[in-house]
């Protein structure tokens, strides 16, 4: 599917996020190139086990208190009620120094 839209001038001074349900599909960083997700999350839970301090309620181990293990996957127990700030950031977009080592999500710049 190809989608063509014209971004209004007022929005070109902001980050733009394109969601597929609750999952980030693509983002356009302020004054950057559109980044399209090429590898989806494998639900390893690493980002929720290592959230930035104060971003979410954290247990004694530092992990988000809403992270739960279901089989081999780790998911948010809040489901569709999870906060917006948990839907779009992944370690690559937030600049986590260990992102490439732990997170499978990948993006490619659109042409």
pLDDT tens digits, residue range 15-63? 899 999 889 999 988 778 899 999 999 999 998 998 888 889 999 999 9
- Enter the pTM of the model: 0.80
Q: Say which residues have a Cβ less than 8 Å from residue 18's Cβ, sequence separation at least 6.
A: 24, 25, 26, 27
CA pair distance 98, 55, nearest whole angstrom: 18
CA distance 105 to 17: 16
**d(C-alpha 66, C-alpha 76), whole Å:** 5
* Each residue's pLDDT tens digit, 35-45: 999 999 999 99
- Nearest C-alpha neighbor of 96 from the set 42, 59, 46, 54: 46
- Token duo for residue 2: 């190809």
């Amino acid at each position: 599917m190809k989608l063509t839209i014209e971004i209004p001038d007022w929005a070109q001074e902001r980050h733009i996020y394109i969601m597929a349900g609750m999952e980030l599909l693509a983002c356009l960083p302020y004054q950057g190139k559109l980044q399209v997700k090429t590898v989806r999350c494998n639900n390893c839970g690493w980002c929720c086990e290592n959230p930035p301090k104060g971003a979410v309620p954290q247990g004694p181990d530092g992990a988000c208190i809403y992270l739960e293990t279901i089989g081999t996957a780790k998911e948010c127990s809040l489901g569709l009620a999870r906060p917006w700030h948990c839907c779009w950031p992944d370690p690559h977009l937030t600049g986590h120094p260990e992102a490439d080592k732990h997170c499978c999500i990948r993006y490619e710049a659109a042409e």
